[in-house]
Chain A
Amino acid sequence: MIQSVGRAARILKALGSESARLGVTELAERLGLAKATVHGLLRTLEAHQFVQQDLETGKYRLGPALLQLGNAFLDNHELRARSLLWAETLAGRAGEAVHVGVLYGPNVLLVHHVFRPDNSVQILQVGASIPWHACALGKAIVAYLEPEGRHELLAGPLPRLTGRTLTTRGALGAELDRVLDGGVAVEDQEAIVGEAGVAAALFDNRGAVVGAIGLAGPVERLLPDGPAADAVAAVKEAARGLSRELGAGRLATPGAGA
């Protein structure tokens, strides 16, 4: 490990974890480093526009170059690029918000989000990170992982996010089997009270699961009496179409032929 790169990364994370700006002294204290060291690192980061100094207060905040990198990450994300059209179509058809996510450690990272098409104010959730076991996207993905991957995640921490989160290996294992049977994962207020999700896994040309696409919305609309049949059909169709575009064989979608 290169020490200075590690320190620079810690500075960026510290600045990213506070909406307030931080001064050299605060940063040095927080990271347990000498002020001169922190100052030097900040000057270098500033030269690359990774941080910015506030002229009035002298304090530092994150810089614009990070936004470009973040956007580049999303733009280069193949799944995101390929999913744009399918996600838009799904949102229009179902009248609900659409999420596309990939597994990132024990969390699902949202790489794409299409707003519910009703002109209401909504907040972009791209970049949000949701524990896999609490959301439809995560359960859809993990159900199709190789057994080792599935075991590892089931053995990891399964925090309770609401009163309905499944937090035992047994309950989640059974839930994943249900996903394999039905081809869709359902989330009933397991991540957020009042919110539901229906999602299906996405596969690449080797038949390996690479992410999931799904609907997210109020529980009373998405799961009026169990999952709404048309929502399930729309999600499955979008997932199948998108998987095909990602190179998965026309008939080789795992689970579809089972």
Chain B
Amino acid sequence: MAVAVAVPWARPSTGPGREAARIVDGACVRGWLTEVAGSLEAERDYLTQLDAAIGDADHGINMHRGFTAVMRRVGDLDAATPGMLLKTAGRTFVSTVGGAAEPLYGTAFLAAGEILDDGDTFGPRRLLEALRASLEGVQRIGAASEGDKTMVDALAPALAAYDLELRTGGSLETAVRAAREAASDGARATVPMQARKGRASYLGPRSVGHQDPGATSTSLMFAALERAVLADRTQRFAAGARSRGSRP
């Protein structure tokens, strides 16, 4: 398939030594959702085990079921904008998943989708706004702050790391890597925390010593985002090389 992309590196660079802002399109977002679905399938039992220690033992099952439905629905959309894809994911989540994952992740995807609206592509800055809208949506519903042992403990540091990386001259690739690292560190940092939100908070001090399943599924999503962005770049390189090579 000839992907008629406005090859980013063909555009003038925005500053000395800086790559032009990479853009993300529907194909890349679709790739991300596919990566998330695969990762939730692979880690379903792990997430459920984490949830059995401090929750209701259904997080892995709920997330897997939700994303299976998301992929079915997204597969039915032919040419969809990134915003449309995320909004579809959010709505599907709300209608198929049980437990706390449904309103929280549903809102996160919907809020991000609203920000991306119906543009065909978006740049790294726009992604930052989308992530910020997700975090705000999650906090509005769950009233959780960092340190409460929830998905916010992965999402908030990921957002901060992504932001910092972009501010300090990083590219989309390095920013999503920083986000993935921060989300994963954030999820691990929930182990010694005592839960202050969600079912785990009922356990009081007994919630200490277990990794939060919600923070863990959030960190899986950032890992999937990095993989999707890198795969997308590789594809673009190949496409770019082909189009350059075929030039007379």
Contact = CB atoms under 8 A, between A and B. Distances in A.
Q: How large is the interface on A (under 10, 10 to 19, 20 to 34, 35 or more residues)?
A: 20 to 34
Contacts of B101: 194
B99 A163 contact: no
A189 B208 CA distance: 24
A147 to B, nearest CB: 29
Interface stretch (A14-22, A24-32, A65-73): A14-22
Contact of B57 (A122, A160, A161, A218): A122
B67 to A, nearest CB: 17
Contacts of B55: 123
Nearest to B94: A220
Nearest to A219: B103
A210 interface: no
B98 interface: yes
If over half of A's interface residues share one DSSP class (helix, strand or loop), that class is named, otherwise mixed; here it is loop
A18 B192 CA distance: 9
A189 B103 CA distance: 10
B128 interface: no
B231 interface: no
A163 B208 contact: no
B52 A193 contact: no
B201 interface: yes
Interface in B201-215: 201-206, 208-210
B79 interface: no
Interface string B64-108: 000000000000000000000000000000000011111110000
Contacts of B100: 192-195
B22 interface: no
A4 interface: no
Given A123-B52, A123-B55, A218-B99, A129 B142 contact: no
B142 A162 contact: yes
A192 to B, nearest CB: 5
A161 B208 contact: no
B205 A161 contact: no
Contacts, number: 72
Contacts of B126: none
Contact of A193 (B198, B208, B209, B210): B198
A165 interface: yes
A208 interface: no
B199 interface: yes
A194 B98 contact: yes
A165 B140 CA distance: 11
A194 B58 contact: no
Q: Which of A16, A17, A122, A129 has the most CB of B within 10 A?
A: A17
B206 A16 contact: yes
Contact of B142 (A19, A123, A125, A163): A163
A120 interface: yes
A251 interface: no
A151 B33 CA distance: 51
Given A193-B198, A194-B99, A218-B99, A20 B206 contact: no
Nearest to A134: B201
B99 A128 contact: no
Interface in A142-182: 160-165
Interface string B176-207: 00000000000000000010011101111110
Given A163-B141, A193-B198, 9 more contacts: A120-B58, A123-B55, A160-B143, A163-B139, A163-B140, A193-B100, A194-B98, A194-B100, A195-B199
List 7 tightest A-B contacts by C-beta distance, closest first: A19-B209, A17-B205, A128-B202, A193-B100, A194-B100, A121-B57, A160-B143
Interface of A: 13, 16-20, 110, 120-123, 125, 128-130, 160-165, 189, 192-195, 218
12 contacts: A16-B205, A17-B208, A18-B205, A110-B202, A123-B56, A128-B202, A128-B203, A160-B143, A161-B197, A162-B142, A162-B197, A193-B141
